[in-house]
Amino acid sequence: MAPQEFGELFHQSMRAMVKFDYIVVFAYRGNERPIDIYSTFDVDEHVIFVSMYQAGPYLLDPFYHTARAPKPGVWRMRELAPDRFFSSEYYRTYYVQTGLAEEVGFFVPVEAGITIVLSLMRRGETGYFPAQELALLRKADPLVATLVRQYCSGLGHLFDAAVAKQGRGRRKVQLNAADTVWRDLNLTDREAAIIELVLQGHSSESIGLRLNITTGTVKVHRRNVYRKLGISSQTQLLSIYLKKLNEH
């Protein structure tokens, strides 16, 4: 069974269990651009949910970071999101364009650092997944994971082909993601770590806990970065970040 056929099977199976508006299945490997395996979007929706996402915003997505961990299981977006995610510039400038009320994902590590994420999405008018539906999805997780590993294995060649198409070696592609952006902007490793967490939606308090430094130190680093880049807002920071990503 091809991944596309599996996507249709997954789609129909989920329809029999819960209510949702969209499905998208992404494969993630390291910090490489995720590959879309299956989705139910129309042409315009595909631009927002897939094309725009793959162009750079995926690097700030809680689902992407969970896939890299990896953290198998069924997770709500709000269970994974940083404490300031829903007030972050990433959320305001990109995520709100999706019109989603909630996103729930099956996270299935498969092979060679690849994780498949099968997302069920509900728009604002549909509302959140009720607790009983989330419980059903979690009961289905072992079966879904088994099927994913059976029918969605051997995807490494898709990532390798994407790398070859760009005419670069895999190592260089990895460096041309977030790491190279910070290097181009002349940020120190500490500054880069803090600013990346800021863009993901972490508060200064959350960043301090993650990096084992004081909240005051986090704020000093943020001010230094803003002064170094000649900016005064997270809006400008995100704009610079995405612009630099698209240059590589």
Q: What is the pLDDT, as a whole number, of residue 158?
A: 85
Cis amide prior to 57 (ω within 30 degrees) = no
Give the pLDDT confidence score for residue 244 in this predicted structure: 81
Q: According to the model, what pLDDT value does residue 67 have?
A: 97
d(CA 71, CA 68): 8
* Token pair belonging to 99: 């019109």
What's the rounded Cα separation, in Å, for the pair 65 and 246? 20
- This prediction has a pTM of 0.90
**Which residues contact residue 175 at a Cβ distance below 8 angstroms, ignoring those fewer than 6 apart?**
none
- What pLDDT is recorded for position 58? 93
Residue 176, pLDDT score: 47
Q: Would you call 54 helix, strand, or coil by DSSP? A: helix
Which parts of the chain register pLDDT below 50? 169-176
Q: What is the pLDDT of residue 167?
A: 59
B/e letters for 21-36, b = 16+ CB within 10 Å, e = fewer, are: bbbbbbbbbebbbbbb
Number of Cα atoms under 13 Å in the Cβ half of residue 179: 9
pLDDT tens, residue by residue, 141-185: 999 999 999 988 888 888 888 777 765 544 444 444 566 788 888
Q: Please report the pLDDT score of residue 173 as a whole number.
A: 43
